[in-house]
Amino acid sequence: MAATPIVRHAMGRSTRAFKIDDPMKDALHDLARSPFPAMPVIDQSGKVAGILTEKDCLRTVSQWAYEGVSGGTVGDYMSAYELQINPEMDLLTAARTFLECNFSSMPVIEDERLVGFIHRHDLLKGIDRWATAIDRERELRLKGTSGHERPSGIEHMQQVAASHTRAQMSQVFKKH
């Protein structure tokens, strides 16, 4: 069966990041011209401290406009980063991590260092490729068994039942 894909094979290798003490005005300008909806924020030691999102920037602009205040650093406006994705995490676990937060993209961290960035769409593409590989394997297995593969034991029966559609199951168990 096709191995469960991991984040390392789906993530982008970009390690672009803002520094926690970068001026917010400059970061807003850079993110607005970037193809990314968010970028990680690193502290002085290079560890990920948070994430600056488009939503953070919109909130900042609104605050500057309505409160007549401007300035500050990225660290003043960034979102806290509580959940982590690492490059060896399987895509299904990473998908659950995305479901637990509101970010559409997240930094990938290894040994407390930024090694890449992953978007929800990257996960979706990786999972789709995995599902396609599983379907291809199943089709090859069914073709190689002359239309059916009768299970020989309960464990084999459970494997067959879990990996076949209803139509395929009727072929496996049909009478000769």
- DSSP sequence for 103-119: -SEEEEEETTEEEEEEE
Pairing of strands 38-42, 18-19: parallel
Comparing 2 with 56, which gets the higher pLDDT? 56
Stretch 10-27: mean pLDDT:
91
pLDDT band at 50 (very low <50, low <70, confident <90, very high): very high
Share of the chain above pLDDT 90, in %: 60
Predicted structure pTM score: 0.72
Single out the residue of 87, 75, 95, 92 nearest to residue 12, CA to CA: 87
pLDDT tens per residue, range 102-145 = 899 999 999 888 999 999 999 999 999 999 999 888 888 777 65
For 118, residues 6+ apart whose C-beta sits below 8 A from its C-beta are 7, 10, 11, 12, 85, 94, 105, 106, 108
